[in-house]
Amino acid sequence: MSGPPLIELRGVDAAPQSDPDRVLLRDVDWTIAEGEWWAVCGGPASGKTALLAVAAGLSPAVRGDVRILGVDPSRASEAEQTGLRRRIGFVFEGGGRLLGRLSVAENVALPLRYHGELDPDEARLRVEELLGRAGLESLAGLSPSRLSPALQQRVALLRAVAAPVRVLFLDDPMSGLAPSHVRWWLSFLRDLRGRRAAAGEPLTLVASGYEFSPWRDDADRFAATEDGRFQVLAALSGHAGRGADAPPPAPPAEGA
Amino acid sequence: MNASAGRPPRVLTRTLDRTGDRVLAAMIGLREMAAFALITLSVLVTKFGVSRRVVHPLIFAQVRQAGLRLLPMMVFLGLALGLLIISQTVALLSRVGAEAYIGTVMVSVLVRELGPLLTALVVLARAGTANVVELGTMRAAHEIGALESLGIDPIHYLVMPRMLGLAISVFCLATYLVLVAIVSGWLFAFVQEVPLRPSAYFGQLGDALRWQDFALFGLKTFSFGAVIAIVSCHQGLARPLSFEEISSAAERTVVAGLVGCVLLDVVFLVGYVFV
């Protein structure tokens, strides 16, 4: 069940941060409400990553209005920016961009320790608990480069959720994963969402990918990025995948 | 009538164009680096106590990496330097019967000039290049963006500890270099049977040293360390890098660091003359 809007995009043009002149999505209107689980799918270079980065406040919109947790990130002070970052988690694609000089455990502990949300003992227990849930306890002292990309991505997820974020963005987390890893991700996310809901702190999830199929049973809102447009889908019928034989998207939902 | 008559030769205009472009690029680079230095200083002032459990150990790690690991090298250089200066000085001064000025020469050459500058160059070659490679790799691997996504200021987490660590390291290493060179100089004079008692030698050193020398030594060494840190961090972090560009960034760091330290040395020299 959806709560109040947490993130609102109005008339937004999104481009990669490294190349602001290459607008990939135009005129995006998108409202992400508390507790929703969004799946945003589209083909390569369709603007999914750029859109998620704008919605998470990591990159500025080329045009349009963005409000994240009631704050316009382009006008936010440094303290407000830091406050936003502590409440919004982001898992990057392709290994999660872990810090190569830190161990697995240190990577997961970094946001907790830097922001001083927990004292060192509590932070250590929290990291041990998270690593245990991911089956990575025995790898805690290793450098991320010793892990497979799938496990690196898992560590990046733990790092993003180590602090109690309100919104979690997952940029194409299932890409190239074996079915067992996909099952683990879905199970972890379901469990995390359930725990947060039980604690009265609903977690909002936004996941992107090439295909809707991994998210079909769990996500409750779906959107597609195609031909420079962002379309909220009223129903998922016909959007199980983005293959060459995939039918055109269903009409957009009104007021999305 | 020849239309090109009266115009400067094309070779000359091209050379002038290229020179102008390079000067302009150097000025823009200098401005960017100055802005980077000011941002770092402001972060140092406003965030020194923030996340101290995470950031302050990074300062000590930098001192270990850039300072302690270089200590054997500095002891070796100190031994060689003391030997070289004393051997040349004794040979020259004994010809004119001015052995009493050995201490003065040691202070002028070693404490005021060579000690801090040589230490800075060694630290630049070893720690400065290591810094730019490490930070450039982080930049190329998009780890800086990951830090920002976690609400961690890269200047606070990566640059500030390096600046403080390198400043402390250059000061400590230069101090050890000077002390070792002074002692090794006397040992060389002793071995060469120069009639110079320890009390006379160290007395000359004490007489030659003024309070300004200590102030200058401290200012110089801390400034050199800060310059090396700013230059290497700027080259590694300030602009997007690919893995292939990291070696070029390391080369630029050595050149810019060298020029920066020498120019700063000239500024201190001019300042010292007028104090």
CB contact (8 A) between residue B150 and residue A114: yes
- Rounded to the nearest angstrom, the minimum Cα separation between B36 and chain A is 17
Q: Which residues of B72-99 are buried (b: 16+ CB within 10 A; e: fewer)?
A: eebbebbbebbbebbeebbeebeeeeeb
- What is the per-residue pLDDT for B106? 84
User: Cα(B234)–Cα(B85) distance, rounded to whole angstroms?
Assistant: 36
Q: Which of A98-112, B192-206, B228-242 is predicted least confidently?
A: B192-206
Q: For chain A, which residues lie within 8 Å of any Cβ of chain B, measuring from their own Cβ? A: 17-18, 56, 58, 81-86, 90, 92, 96-101, 110-111, 113-116, 120, 159
Taking only the tens of pLDDT, chain A with its 256 residues reads 567 899 999 999 999 988 889 999 999 999 999 999 999 999 988 999 999 999 999 999 999 999 999 999 999 998 999 999 999 999 999 888 999 999 999 999 999 999 876 778 888 899 999 999 999 999 999 999 999 999 999 999 999 999 889 999 999 999 888 999 999 999 999 999 999 999 999 999 999 999 899 999 999 999 999 999 999 998 666 554 444 334 434 444 433 3
Each domain of chain B, given as residue ranges in start order, spans 52-274
pTM score: 0.86
Interface probe, candidates B65, B144, B149, chain A, greatest A C-beta count within 10 A:
B149
- By C-alpha distance, the chain B residue nearest A53 is B149
Neighbours of A11 (CB within 10 A): 13
Identify which of B39, B81, B40 has the alpha carbon closest to the alpha carbon of residue B225.
B40
How large is the average pLDDT for residues B39-45? 96
User: Cα(A8)–Cα(B26) distance, rounded to whole angstroms?
Assistant: 43
CB contact (8 A) between residue B51 and residue A86: no
CB contact (8 A) between residue B240 and residue A18: yes
How large is the average pLDDT for residues B244-248? 90
- By C-alpha distance, the chain B residue nearest A106 is B54
User: Cα(A80)–Cα(A86) distance, rounded to whole angstroms?
Assistant: 10
- By C-alpha distance, the chain A residue nearest B43 is A78
Residue type, B155: I
Q: Report the relative pairing of strands A204-209 and A167-170 from DSSP bridges.
A: parallel
CB contact (8 A) between residue B54 and residue A82: no
Question: How confident is the prediction for chain B on average, in pLDDT?
Answer: 90
Interface probe, candidates A69, A82, A97, chain B, greatest B C-beta count within 10 A:
A97
Looking at beta carbons, which residues of chain B come within 8 Å of A73? none
Looking at beta carbons, which residues of chain A come within 8 Å of B147? 99
Query: Has the ipTM of the complex gone over 0.95?
Result: no
CB contact (8 A) between residue B145 and residue A97: yes
- By C-alpha distance, the chain B residue nearest A159 is B150
CB contact (8 A) between residue A97 and residue B148: no
- What is the per-residue pLDDT for A240? 47
- Structure-model confidence comparison of residues B170 and B203, the more confident one: B170
Neighbours of B9 (CB within 10 A): 9
User: Cα(B236)–Cα(B129) distance, rounded to whole angstroms?
Assistant: 10
Rounded to a whole number of angstroms, the CA Rg of chain A reads 18
- What is the per-residue pLDDT for A255? 35
- Rounded to the nearest angstrom, the minimum Cα separation between B148 and chain A is 8
Looking at beta carbons, which residues of chain A come within 8 Å of B137? 100
Instruction: Give, in words, the CATH class of A1-69+166-256.
Output: alpha beta
CB contact (8 A) between residue A100 and residue B137: yes
Looking at beta carbons, which residues of chain B come within 8 Å of A17? 145
Identify which of B88, B163, B77 has the alpha carbon closest to the alpha carbon of residue B119.
B77
Q: How confident is the model at residue B10 (pLDDT cuts 50, 70, 90)?
A: confident
Q: How confident is the model at residue B197 (pLDDT cuts 50, 70, 90)?
A: confident
CB contact (8 A) between residue A114 and residue B134: no
Phi and psi at residue A241, in whole multiples of 5°? Answer: -155, 170
- Structure-model confidence comparison of residues B99 and A232, the more confident one: A232
User: Cα(B185)–Cα(B81) distance, rounded to whole angstroms?
Assistant: 8
DSSP chain A: ---SEEEEEEEEEE--TT-TTS--EEEEEEEEETT-EEEEEE-TTSSHHHHHHHHTTSS--SEEEEEETTB-TTT--HHHHHHHHHHEEEE-SSSTT--TTS-HHHHHHHHHHHTT-S-HHHHHHHHHHHHHHTT-GGGTTS-GGGS-HHHHHHHHHHHHHSS--SEEEESSTTTT--HHHHHHHHHHHHHHHHHHHHTT-PPEEEEEES-SGGGTTT-SEEEEEETTEEEEES--TT-S--STTPPPPPPBPTT-
CB contact (8 A) between residue A115 and residue B134: no
Looking at beta carbons, which residues of chain B come within 8 Å of A143? none
- Rounded to the nearest angstrom, the minimum Cα separation between B255 and chain A is 27
CB contact (8 A) between residue A100 and residue B51: no
- What is the per-residue pLDDT for B271? 83
Contact status, residue A14 vs residue A23, Cβ threshold 8 Å: yes
Nearest by CB to A99, from B53, B143, B153: name it. Answer: B143
Q: For chain B, which residues lie within 8 Å of any Cβ of chain A, measuring from their own Cβ? A: 51, 53-54, 134, 137-138, 141-143, 145-153, 157, 240
Looking at beta carbons, which residues of chain B come within 8 Å of A16? none
pLDDT digits (tens, 9 = 90+) for B100-156: 788 888 888 889 889 999 999 999 999 999 999 999 999 999 999 999 999 999 999
